[in-house]
Structure 1
């Protein structure tokens, strides 16, 4: 019996309605940008397996650095011990993170990075003698699936059954260059009637919302307002971090820097799960006290795992290399050229790009999980390209190591799909 059939007996896959959708494709090998299934079919991974494998699958350099660490120290509890990979990773990250970030807290994944950030904000005010219980977030934002992260997310397809159990969140529109004044007025109204602990945001690019891009100047005005009104700002860079926007972090495009940042996905190059919540020294100082209970009592068993830290260090070394930086520039330029050929297609409503992320909105009504989306996914896979549409949006987020020939195939298959609609 093949893997796909064996899978159906016991496994429950995420984001899938098992009664309606076909069996899963069994992948037995991945190298570079290529996924290989149990029948020998190959697919270009054009979304870097949910934005994680940005240096390609099974990258030799990362594997070697990870293997070296596996022979030295595998796992040690991080509440009582420290180790070289964690210390070195903190040093490397602080050097590249936006100005002001000074402390590193380890988590397991993007959702838990956000969860920790939310708890930090709430306890920051609690430790300072204030009770603040409301958060501000963008409409249609997505920050994860644990309860705090889910609370600040605005996509009801994920949150519907749990809305009665979520923390208090007030949502504002993303700035578009024309609505700044209205957004600021909403902020003033919210802060005049609620005790706001934090503003959480995906800087410049909302991933799950269809790779929508918002205005940097408008976001900066929101962040400035939060600074002036003593509201902590939490930048969720789980998706945007580590070069995808053309800079190390999307926050590098914005003058006003966050108080707290959430990192995961490309942090460990798709090899080992790990996440980080970083913060300023001022946030950290609120947890320093002679009272034990003012400490941050939040912990994951695999916090600061040495192997994951070594993997992350290797990924950072690659990201900062001349080769990868040149590849990023090459992909950005290729996307721009593809845009010139595709934007006038009759089935294209609009296009947009930020760094290596390129998105096409189709000029057709399409449900987030619907027949047309499923047909497009099948169309792409049958032609050897893994693209996963978000509603009526087809997006590309390829590994930095993709070849010219592979990238041209991705473009060609998208063109064929548009022609077939």
Structure 2
């Protein structure tokens, strides 16, 4: 019988893949904790939590037990006209840990739709109030997903080129730093005076797809304060940063001015079942609360608030707040700091940065985002039994919270060794 990699070629089309250049897909047959197992019996440490989702480890027994228990009671039910206990329980648990100005939750299926809904909320909020605001504001190099609204506000044209003629009108500004914030605020005045800005979407403090670009919390706060004065709704895309990765429960917890809208997915359900949530303030919700049906938010997904996904999310939130996971997060932070002190002076390392468990280093060499040298690095890590996905000349770690010290050291050792091949 053919192996998985060979069978895959016949029918499957993979994301972010040019299949003519990369015809082989590695078959993964099992995962446990921080380790992936391929069809040939080789092990790989999952150094990026499988795209930032499986933060409590793969096949976590605590989460699996909760979901299995829920499967015996209610598997799926339409969420229009019905409700159920897992969704209500999850709403109560999530509201307790997100910024206190967030009062309403809207369920969907994935990170792109979480941001899509946030964008629609911002645009329709002003429409419902009779205001013509049809322009959005976003950061350069941001990434918010692959649906049309999310693509519109994303600044990475490598993904968006064929579709740009169909996008929402978006104005872009650079991420703020202590050096550029004064000029940026001046430029922002011009943008606000010349455009009807409805909302501003941003990845708080870390732009993931932009190679873990990190920026200043105090400077971001100044932007949020200025936009609030002009009635611009602020949308924090916490799809990647949420649920403990930045050293706080959410990246927005680092910033005094809280967003009007927040977007969650990925680690929300611990990497087990797809689900997303978009939260908002009571003020936003009230703009949709009307005797006019047309003022409602008519966006829906078949698996909205799936009971099994809600059960996984509830279990994940319980783990996140446990002493065990919080101690593990602190240990990873300390380990990254120690690793950084050793590697940042290497002649082939141009820069390093860290926020919480997110660690990134830039190689002192120019590389294409998707190119031969990047592929060579990826293969080096896989040969070492480490799953990392370099972004251009950036190598980053975003490992599960339950990773062991030995597993983390193996990642560090592989990164050290990779410096010899660039």
Deviation (angstroms), 1:99: 2.1
**Whole-Å separation in 1 of the counterparts to 2:182 and 2:282:** 32
User: For residue 230 of structure 1, what is the aligned residue in structure 2?
Assistant: 231
CA distance in 2, matches of 1:297, 1:21: 40
Shift of 1:209: 0.2
**Which residue of the partner structure matches residue 33 of structure 2?**
32
Tell me the CA shift for residue 379 of structure 1: 0.4
Q: What's the CA shift for 1:169?
A: 0.4
Q: Does 1:280 align with 2:278?
A: no
Q: How does 1:342-361 map to 2 (within 5 A)?
A: 342-361=343-362
CA distance in 2, matches of 1:7, 1:251: 40
Structure 2 stretches lacking a partner, 5+ long: none
Aligned partner of 1:129 in structure 2 is 130
Corresponding residue of 1:338: 339
1:217-274 superposed Cα distances (whole Å, 9 cap, x missing partner)? 1100000011101000000000000000000000000000000000000000000000
When normalised by structure 1's length, the TM-score is 0.99
How far residue 26 of structure 1 moved from its aligned partner, in angstroms, is 0.2
TM-score by length of 2: 0.99
Q: 2: distance between equivalents of 1:235 and 1:199?
A: 8
In structure 2, how many angstroms separate the alpha carbons of the residues matched to 1:405 and 1:297? 50
Q: What is the match of residue 248 of structure 2?
A: 247
Give the Cα separation in 1 of the matches to 2:51 and 2:243: 14
Displacement over 4 Å in runs of 4+:
none
Q: Secondary structure at the match of 1:420?
A: coil
How far is 1:96 from its partner? Answer: 0.2
Would you say the 8 A contact 2:9–2:23 is kept in 1?
A: no
Alignment match, 1:397 = 398
2:346 and 2:20 mapped to 1: Cα distance? 36
Per the alignment, residue 315 of structure 1 pairs with 316
- Following superposition, the deviation at residue 182 of structure 1 comes to 1.3
Aligned residue for 1:176? 177
Q: Spell out, residue by residue over 1:78-119, the C-alpha distance to the aligned partner (whole angstroms, 9 max, x if none).
A: 011011100010001110001200000001000000000000
Q: What residue is the counterpart of 2:419 in the other structure?
A: 418
Aligned positions of 1:6-405 closer than 5 A:
6-405=7-406
Secondary structure of the structure 1 residue equivalent to 2:149: helix
- Return the alpha-carbon distance in structure 2 between the equivalents of residues 347 and 247 of structure 1: 31
Structure 1 CA distance for aligned equivalents of residues 242 and 321 of structure 2: 13
Q: CA deviation at 1:311?
A: 0.5
Which deviations, in whole Å up to 9, do the C-alpha atoms of 1:42-73 show, x marking residues without a partner?
00000000000000000000000000000000
Per the TM alignment, residue 22 of structure 1 is displaced from its structure 2 partner at its CA by 3.6
CA drift of 1:420 comes to 3.0
Superposition deviation, residue 144 in structure 1: 0.2
Q: Which runs of 5+ in 1 are unaligned?
A: none
State the alpha-carbon separation in 2 of the partners of residues 118 and 306 from structure 1. Answer: 26
**Contact 2:5–2:26 (Cα < 8 Å) also in 1:** yes
Give 1:378 deviation, angstroms.
Answer: 0.3
For 2:69 and 2:160, how far apart are their aligned partners in 1? 42
Distance 2:75 2:132 in 1: 41
TM-superposition CA deviations, 1:360-381 (whole Å, max 9, x none): 0000000100100000000000
SS at the partner of 1:170? strand
Note the aligned Cα RMSD (angstroms). Answer: 0.6
Q: How many residues align?
A: 421
Distance in 2 (alpha carbons) for counterparts of 1:74 and 1:182:
53
3-state DSSP of counterpart to 1:86 = helix
Q: Distance in 1 between matches of 2:248 and 2:336?
A: 16
* 3-state secondary structure, aligned to 1:39: coil
SS at match of 2:419: helix
* Secondary structure of residue in 1 paired with 2:103: strand
